[in-house]
Every structure is written in structure tokens, then in C-alpha cells.
Amino acid sequence: MKPNTRRTRFENRVGLEREFLTQINQKFGKTAPLAGMTRDAIDAWQTRAQKARGGEAVELIHNLLIEVSTRAELIADHSRDVFDRDGHSTASSLDDLRVLLAKTISAV
Amino acid sequence: MSRGKLIAAYLFGSAGRGQIDDLSDLDILAIVENNQGKVAEVAVTQLIPGQYAHLKPSISWYGAARVIEMFRNGELFAWHLYQESVPLFDPSGLLVKLGQPAVYKDSLQDMLSFRSILQGIPTQVQNSSVNAAYEAGLVYICMRNIAMAASWLLCEKPDFSRYSIFHLEGMRRCPISIEEFDITMHCRMASQRGYEPPVEATALFIFDIYGRLDPWFDELEALVIRKTNEAKHA
């Protein structure tokens, strides 16, 4: 059986989510882990991170994550996304946000 | 301003199955006219019956052409809709007119796609144990979707229920407990809905259940390959 090389919408989503979760959780993972990239998950992370560490940076990071999530269409997570075969990648359009996020996190 | 026009709206998922519980959200399929954009969400949410008012709506938007294509292709989501959708707004009887979807032919391919994601998880956890809750949620998604795809071949009809992995016929029971399965499910809820990640969701937990799941999925894959070949030669 040949390995399946089909890239689904879901696989693209997972790749992007892992990238941004890793960035956040390397700094916050032990006290306030980010568990996902939907609006609800990012908002809940902000609450946990504010309690754990406080500071303006958390709000700034929250806003950047929401922008990433909106731009990459991760903001909502629908059941049907898992089924959908039409993968598309928005990874390259996030480069400016990647830089901003890395700068903000490194300052925490 | 969107020029979209709502053609039909349906409940699917746990509401469509009549299996609403505390963990359910309200999955809604909104079908709009092709290439005209969405309509305002309120145009859909106002259709929700009062009995579901306490559930958070999750709207999936589709153009009519894509829905028709899914039914013609026999995609698993079309079967999901065929079996478990409940109309909220359906003046033209759209899904009824589409009838039964074509035969689902991608059971093995869909299984392998999710197996591939699953098999990458231990390495991800090894490298970034701080993402354990997220990765445990992915284990849930992979288990659930592999089971749904396999159920086409192993069960009387496709099983889209939450615990479908425990309903597969013709092989030994999935070697994790319901409690362990529920932990992975709660991790997925944390990823989607912002719930507090379960404390049990550690790297060790994932390695433990993966160690039992991987050989079981080998057996499942072998069985699905056999059934696929049998179906081809039938």
C-alpha cells in the first residue's frame, strides 16, 4: 500500500496549530498552556496566562494569536473541517505575524 | 455587504442523531447559493428551535454545488448528512432530492490519512511535551475518524457516533478504556472550546495509550484492506 500523500484541510490546520502552540507553550506551557487556535481556546489561554503571569505582553500575544487565527481561518473549528479534502495553505501570508509574535514572546 | 442567499439549513452531528449531552455543540450545515458568499449568521441561528437554544451553534457553510459534488463523490460527510441531518430550513427539499450518496470508496484512504497523523504524534510529543493536551486531542480526532471510515466496511451502516471506535465489528475491542478515550475527548474540547485541559493529559499518557493503539490499528488496517479487496472482487 502506497503511503497516502493527500494533504487535507485538516492536516494543514494541524501543521499551523502545532507551529503556534509550540511557540507559545515553550514560554507558557508549564503554567498556562495554549491548547488550540480557535477564538475560544485563545481567549481561555489569555485568562489563564493573565492569572499565571499577568502583564501587557499577554494581551498583545492574545491579539496577535487572534489575528493569526483569523487570517489562517483557524478561528472556528467545525466538525466538517475534518472531512474536507480541499486543503489549502495560508502559511506564507502569516510571515509578518510570525515575526511580531516571536519578538513579543522573547520580551516576556 | 454579502449578496448571499440561504438555500437550506440542517442540524447534523449529535443533534441530528438525537444524542445531545453536556459536551455537545450544535452542528449546523448552512447551504448558500454558489459564489455569492455567506449570509448573516443570525439568518441561520434564528432558525434554531428553542430546545437547542442552550447549545453553542457551529455553522459549516457550503455552496450548493459543493454539497451536490459531495453526494456524487460518495464522500463520508455526504453519508453523515444523509443519515443524520435534520432540516431547519429546507423549502426545496434539497437533501431529499439528492437522495442516497454514491458509494463511499475512500474508507481505506481516509483511514490511512488519519493513521499518518496519528503516527506522527509520539514524535511531536517527544519534541514538544508542552503541547501534550493538544496532541491528546488529536489522538481523539484520529481515533474517531478512523473508526467512522472503517465502520463503512465493518458495520451494518456508517457509525458517526462519538464512541464508534468501540462499536467496530469483526475484531477485538479497542484496547483503551472509555475513561482514557474521554480524557482525549476533553483534550479536544480544550483545543476547540477553551475548556481547561485535563491534568491527565501528559506525554506519558499519550505514549501509554499510543503503545496499545498502534498494534490495534495495524490489525484494523489489515482487516480494512482485506474487506476493501473483497469488495473490489465481489
Residue ending a domain, choose from B67, B98, B129: B98
Residue ending a domain, choose from B98, B124, B157: B98
Measure A66 CA to nearest chain B CA, in Å: 14
Q: Is residue B174 domain-shared with residue B69, that is, in the same domain?
A: no
- Once rounded to an integer, what is the mean pLDDT over residues B123-148? 96
Q: Is residue B121 domain-shared with residue B208, that is, in the same domain?
A: yes
Phi and psi, residue B9, nearest 5°: -145, 140
Q: Is residue B79 domain-shared with residue B182, that is, in the same domain?
A: no
ipTM exceeds 0.95? no
Instruction: List the 214-233 stretch of B: residues with Cβ below 8 A of A.
Output: 225
Q: Is residue B80 domain-shared with residue B114, that is, in the same domain?
A: no
Q: Is residue B217 domain-shared with residue B114, that is, in the same domain?
A: yes
pLDDT at residue A1 in the model = 38
Contact B94, B8 (CB under 8 A): yes
Q: Is residue B133 domain-shared with residue B152, that is, in the same domain?
A: yes
Using the beta-carbon criterion (under 8 Å), do A14 and B117 form an inter-chain contact?
yes
Q: Which helix (H) or strand (E) holds B30?
A: strand B26-32
Which DSSP state fits A31? T
Q: Is residue B57 domain-shared with residue B120, that is, in the same domain?
A: no
Contact B168, B158 (CB under 8 A): no
Q: What is the pairing mode between strands B26-32 and B57-63?
A: parallel
Specify the CATH number for the domain of residue B139: 1.20.120
Q: Is residue B43 domain-shared with residue B134, that is, in the same domain?
A: no
CA closest to B75 among chain A residues: A83
Instruction: Please indicate, yes or no, if residue B71 is contained in any of the structural domains.
Output: yes
pLDDT band, very low/low/confident/very high, at A85 (cuts 50, 70, 90): low
Number of separate domains in chain B? 2
pLDDT band, very low/low/confident/very high, at A6 (cuts 50, 70, 90): low
Instruction: Please indicate, yes or no, if residue B224 is contained in any of the structural domains.
Output: yes
Q: Is residue B74 domain-shared with residue B161, that is, in the same domain?
A: no
pLDDT at residue A88 in the model = 57
**Hey, what's the cell of B13?**
452531528
pLDDT at residue A86 in the model = 58
Residue with cell 495560508: A90
Domain hosting B207: range is 107-233
Euclidean distance between CA atoms B39 and B3, whole angstroms = 7
Instruction: List the 35-94 stretch of A: residues with Cβ below 8 A of B.
Output: 35-36, 38, 40-45, 48, 76-85
DSSP string, B82-108: HHH-EEEE-TT-HHHHH-SPPPP--HH
Which DSSP state fits A108? -
B187 interfaces chain A, CB cutoff of 8 Å: yes
A78 vs B60, B109, B187: nearest CB: B60
Measure A9 CA to nearest chain B CA, in Å: 12
Q: Is residue B42 domain-shared with residue B79, that is, in the same domain?
A: yes
A79 vs B27, B190, B195: nearest CB: B27
Residue ending a domain, choose from B68, B98, B128: B98
Q: Is residue B91 domain-shared with residue B117, that is, in the same domain?
A: no
Q: Is the pTM for the entire model greater than 0.95?
A: no
A79 vs B13, B75, B138: nearest CB: B13
Query: Which residues from A are below 8 Å from B121, CB to CB?
Result: none
Measure B188 CA to nearest chain A CA, in Å: 8
Residue A102 CA, distance from chain mean position: 13
Specify the CATH number for the domain of residue B63: 3.30.460.10
* 3-class SS of residue B36: coil
